[in-house]
Amino acid sequence: MTKYVIHGGKPLYGEINISGAKNAAVAIIPAALLVDGVCRIENIPQISDVTLILNILQELGADVRTVNRTTVDIDCSHIRNGRVPEELARRIRASYYLIGALLGRFGQAQVPPPGGCDFGGRPIDQHIKGFVAMGAQVDVHGGYIHAAAKNGRMQGTQVYLDIVSVGATMNIMLSAALAKGMTVIENAAKEPHVVDLANFLNCMGADIMGAGTDVIKIRGVDRLTGGFYSIIPDQIEAGTYMAAAAAAGGEVLVKNVIPKHLECITAKLLEMGVEVEEQDDAVLVRRTGPLSRTNVKTLPYPGFPTDMQPQIAAVLCLAEGTSVLTEGVWDNRYRYVDEFRRMGAQIQVDGKIAVIEGVGRLTGARVHACDLRAGAAMVIAGLAAQGTTEISCIHHIERGYEDIVRKLSGVGADIRVVITPEEDKQAKIG
């Protein structure tokens, strides 16, 4: 059992390099299943979700070779259409991309229902609606989702998504790249990772237009061949460090980013009195004075990202005045609020709305990371708080943040990974 121990209250100064985007990587790696040849994928983040999805591909027979720390070669030429192993697939949300990728490649898929962070119900009915419209039969039995295309190949068609869903948009794109004819996704998600997946598939020979708008057209091709691709920088990792600099104060250059992807976050930090200077592939975040209150509503891109909601809440706790936070994507993404209250935060939650009374100063406490972004928010709160914060359940954080302790230590944070002797002894006994 490991935890992060943070001695907070120190401003941050220096530079942080952003890794490749988790939510792009976990779709692009399964997309390699569609390719007949070697895909060299660069800027892969070193996080446990990526390790898991690579392991699943290997279990299916893919040849995965590490070229260097951030580059892998994936060759799925000799893959078999096996069942996706349950114990791996249930540990990650993105395992649902294997349904679209296997349907595209083999016309059939057997994948367990996905796992991932708990924000209330996380249905995949829109993914299934798309597969069914494209001629697949989908049913669930024996703990697996079984999907099979009529005549062994997906058929292009028009799919209107009732809800803007990142996962459904990307999954339908995966199943359509090798389909017969044209697939049109209407009311598609526009997140940067949707565009990144389309760019990856196009690099491998697909014919996809309109990614980044709400209508995506995919003309099915007969074959995808190998090639090189570099994953975009992680919008949410960058936003998390921007929020950390805003909360703790100081001056941090967040490097290797696409500033356009960060505009929704930059806009809110500016409203709060934080200075943000956009450079070509970096943003400089400086906070010296007090933080002002503001209101934030999460929405699909280009709105403020739900995956930054807990982190911005940490900053709002320190602002002067009352802020209103509205969660516009998930039903239940405030489970972390009790942990913040242990640190002195004043937050009232009613359904999708959180009212945050700024307290100016948080105090260190023992808290746990209830999920990935909530864990990141605990780190931010701990960096700003007076005293010592201990964060447990850090495996959630390590699912999505590469080297978070090293990156924060590099800008002067006092954060360490600690293995507690009692828990260690218990772990050995257990």
Nearer to ligand EPZ among residue 159 and residue 381 (C-beta):
159
The encoded tokens of residue 184 equal 């049109």
Question: Which one, 102 or 159, has the nearer CB to ligand EPZ?
Answer: 159
Q: How far is CA 352 from the centre of its chain?
A: 21
**Plot region of 262 (φ>0 → left; ψ -120 to 50 → alpha; else → beta):** alpha
Q: Which residue of the chain is nearest ligand EPZ when measured via CB?
A: 167
137, two tokens: 């039969």
- Closest approach, Cβ 99 to ligand EPZ, in A, equals 12
Q: CA–CA separation, 354 vs 155, rounded Å? A: 44
94, 26 Cβ separation under 8 angstroms: yes
Instruction: Provide the token pair at 126.
Output: 């829109």
Please state the closest distance from residue 329 (CB atom) to ligand EPZ, in A: 5
**By three-state DSSP, how is residue 163 classified?**
coil
Six token digits for residue 211: 């990614």
Q: Are 145 and 165 in contact (CB under 8 A)?
A: no
Catalytic residues, by residue number, are 117
Question: In 3D, which of 78, 128, 121 has the Cα closest to residue 103?
Answer: 128
Rounded to whole angstroms, how far apart are CA atoms 65 and 99?
23
Closest to ligand EPZ by CB, 75 or 327? 327
Tell me the Ramachandran region of residue 210: left when phi exceeds 0, alpha when psi lies from -120 to 50, beta otherwise.
left
Nearer to ligand EPZ, 168 or 231 (CB): 168
Tell the smallest beta-carbon distance from residue 147 to ligand EPZ (Å): 14
Minimum distance of ligand EPZ from residue 394's CB (angstroms): 15
User: Sheet containing 158-160: which strands, arranged edge to edge?
Assistant: 158-160, 182-186, 215-219, 207-209
Q: Which helix (H) or strand (E) is 335 found in, with range?
A: none
* Nearer to ligand EPZ (CB atom), residue 75 or residue 307: 307
Distances (CA, A) of 173 to 189, 232, 290, 417, 425: 11, 18, 45, 40, 48
Q: Which residues bind ligand EPZ (CB under 6 A)?
A: 22-23, 26, 93-94, 117, 122-127, 163, 165-168, 189, 306-307, 329-330, 372-373, 400
- Our CB check for ligand EPZ shows the closer of 175 and 306 to be 306
At 193, the amino acid letter reads H
